[in-house]
Structure 1
Amino acid sequence: MKHFLTVVVLGAAVVTLVSAASTDGAISFEYHRYEELRKALVSVWLQCPTITRIYTIGESFEGRELLVLEMSDNPGTHEPGEPEFKYIANMHGNEVVGRELLIYLAQYLCNQYQQGNETIIDLIHNTRMQDFNYLSSNSFEITLELSCDKFPNEETLKSYWEQNRNSLVNYIEQVHRGVKGFIRDLQGNPISNATVSVEGIDHDITTAKDGDYWRLLAPGNYKVAASAPGYLTVIKKVAVPYSPATRVDFELESLMERKEEEREELMDWWKMMSETLNF
């Protein structure tokens, strides 16, 4: 059986990793059992406390906590306009390469951040994790196969890391492509849960509480629509480059405002006709 690394890509930014690191900054290429994973998560947090957060999303069938490590310049806080990204590994307990690579990735990001790697600093400062309600409605899920060996020898783990390190980092960077922006009403108030649709693509997303959205798209020309209950839909033509994401904001007019405008226009017309015909 092959190893699987499940990748969930969001429209806003942090890297969430079930992962670990040692406090001395050295990557240890070895397998981690559950208790070792818990200790490793704490080690990452202790090494980089200003850019990490540990939390739980529940328990496994056997009652073990499902811990998550978040990495961001403001962990635990949604920052309007930032894209979000999530890696998930170890979907099956005996398919271990994906889990170990994310352990190494978390430590690598922490180490490189502390050492002043500008690429990693920029990535962490401009990418963050989203809450799970947003995740479930706005994610793109991709499964990557990393190995044909379910449980390879421990001495091969370093080579797996070296072969996949750059790809793991570069894949996170892809979240900064496509279109992004805010959806507001005519008074500038954010519209949450507004729908962003792309013509010809059957995958809509919704805005966060601040009206912000991110929509991953390959380079090309698109028609992007913004809609919300009680508002008129707005459609824009957008040319999307390879990188970075194109900013596309929307202002939606409420149906009540439109009806009021139409009523006023009708009254003005009636007044004009009355004066003209001497009613």
Structure 2
Amino acid sequence: MNWVATCCFFLGVTTVLCSLDFTYHDNKAVENYLKAINKNYSSITYLHSIGASVAGNQLWVLVIGLHPSHHMIGIPEMKYVANMHGNEVVGRELMLHLIEYLVTSYKTDMVISQLINNTRIHIMPSMNPDGFDASVQDCYGIIGRTNKNGYDLNRNFPDAFDLNPNPIQPETRAVMDWINNENFVLSANFHGGAVVASYPYDNANSENNEISPDNDFFKNLATLYATNHANMHQGVQCLNTAIFPNGITNGYLWYPVRGGMQDYNYIYGQCFEITIELSCCKYPDASMLSEFWSENKVALIEYIKQVHKGVKGQVFDLLGYPIPNAIVEVKDRNHIKPYKTNSNGEYYLLLLPGVYTVIVSASGVSTLQTVNIKESQNLYAMKQDFLLHLPTSSVNSHLQICTLLSFLSTILVIFCT
């Protein structure tokens, strides 16, 4: 065996251009593959761990973008998360093939190149590596579903509707911190056991029904994925599951989920997330993986593009400084937790084409603007900045904070260099 074949063997990939094989990769093979991708495509990738599992397995995330290691103003962030139920394994492999497709298509495929240049794409192949280690090849079983402590990670997030008494697990905490530290706008997480795209809410109570303020956009997201999937839109029925018209469903109407990641992203993270069920069989034979990739490839790419819908911009004060934590909401679709600008004064609102009134407020001052969002074929959301006439005291206070942050940033640069 020559050195190329040896390298590919240990990475779990084939020798034909050392491309990823359609087989199941254990946690070490996944890690090695991600490190190899990061090494060979260092200009557009950034590999990091957001934390560790109960057993100490790293929760790897590969970021793909023109500036992969850090956020850039105006560049939206999106993520894919797979294998949070350790025995639901198809998404785990699809993420590896998606990574390969994206990096190898850069500068040769115009659409993919534009997507990478204008988006920061985060991909986590496995949120539950311990569960994967424990799982067995079984279509309908539960062995490996939970983390090593026996907790279902998709019932472990803080819930806006019901108290969730379960102790937050290391994997859950890592993802929560990840969400809080980034500026995610769009997300999807991948499961198995059905073939459907499910959208928020996953839970509800007497005061809040299952219909979210952004129900129109969520239904459009789910429909877009199902329509671009080879057969999801046909309403595939699996054993012991309902028939899903057009391949989509509201999560709560399917069955309530308390402590789900989907609702946590949307309510607490200002990130639109849907749940995509990829296969009737949770852990199918590896011979089917090529078919699953073919079924989902177009949908995965088209979904990423949706992060560029709607309107985005920054909120500034009279001196031209960006205002963090300004509330930016669309009239008549207020969120449970108001959506706010980030530390750069940025906001991103995913909206379908139409006319909307955007209301911006901070320090007791508000302004509103009517925006007309039109259908766009490019990867640029409509840009709309806002100027808030803050009281003089607030402007001075804000100026002092900005000056301090600028000073600290300068000191860090000097120290680190």
TM above 0.5, one fold? yes
Q: Does 1:224 align with 2:217?
A: no
What is the aligned partner in structure 1 of residue 291 from structure 2? Answer: 159
What is the aligned partner in structure 2 of residue 215 from structure 1? Answer: 349
Looking at both structures, which has the greater relative contact order when contacts are Cα pairs under 8 Å and sequence separation is at least 6?
1
The CA distance in 2 between the partners of 1:33 and 1:80, in whole Å, is 37
Change (3 A) 1:233 1:21: farther
State the superposition RMSD in angstroms: 2.2
Within 5 Å, which residues of 2 pair with 1:156-195?
156-195=288-327
What is the aligned partner in structure 2 of residue 124 from structure 1? Answer: 116
Task: Give the structure with the higher percent strand.
Answer: 1
Q: Which amino acid in 1 is paired with 2:369?
A: K
Unmatched segments (≥5 aa) in structure 1? 1-19, 259-279
Q: Name the TM-score, length of structure 1 as normaliser.
A: 0.79
Q: Does 1:56 align with 2:49?
A: yes
The CA distance in 2 between the partners of 1:71 and 1:142, in whole Å, is 21
What is the aligned partner in structure 1 of residue 86 from structure 2? Answer: 93
The CA distance in 2 between the partners of 1:241 and 1:61, in whole Å, is 47
Q: Does 1:233 align with 2:233?
A: no
The CA distance in 2 between the partners of 1:231 and 1:255, in whole Å, is 9
- Conserved? CA contact 1:53–1:69, under 8 Å: yes
Q: Which amino acid in 1 is paired with 2:367?
A: V
Q: Which of 253, 257, 263 matches 2:389?
A: 253
Partner SS for 1:106: helix
The CA distance in 2 between the partners of 1:28 and 1:192, in whole Å, is 46
Partner SS for 1:174: helix
What is the aligned partner in structure 1 of residue 215 from structure 2? Answer: none
The CA distance in 2 between the partners of 1:58 and 1:155, in whole Å, is 32
Q: Does 1:80 align with 2:127?
A: no
Partner SS for 1:233: strand
The structure number with the bigger radius of gyration is: 1
Partner SS for 1:151: coil
What is the aligned partner in structure 2 of residue 46 from structure 1? Answer: 39
Aligned residue pair count:
238
Q: CA deviation at 1:83?
A: 1.1
Moved over 4 A (4+): 20-23
Q: Which amino acid in 1 is paired with 2:73?
A: P
Q: Which amino acid in 1 is paired with 2:49?
A: T
Q: Which amino acid in 1 is paired with 2:91?
A: G
Q: Name the TM-score, length of structure 2 as normaliser.
A: 0.54
Q: Which amino acid in 1 is paired with 2:353?
A: P
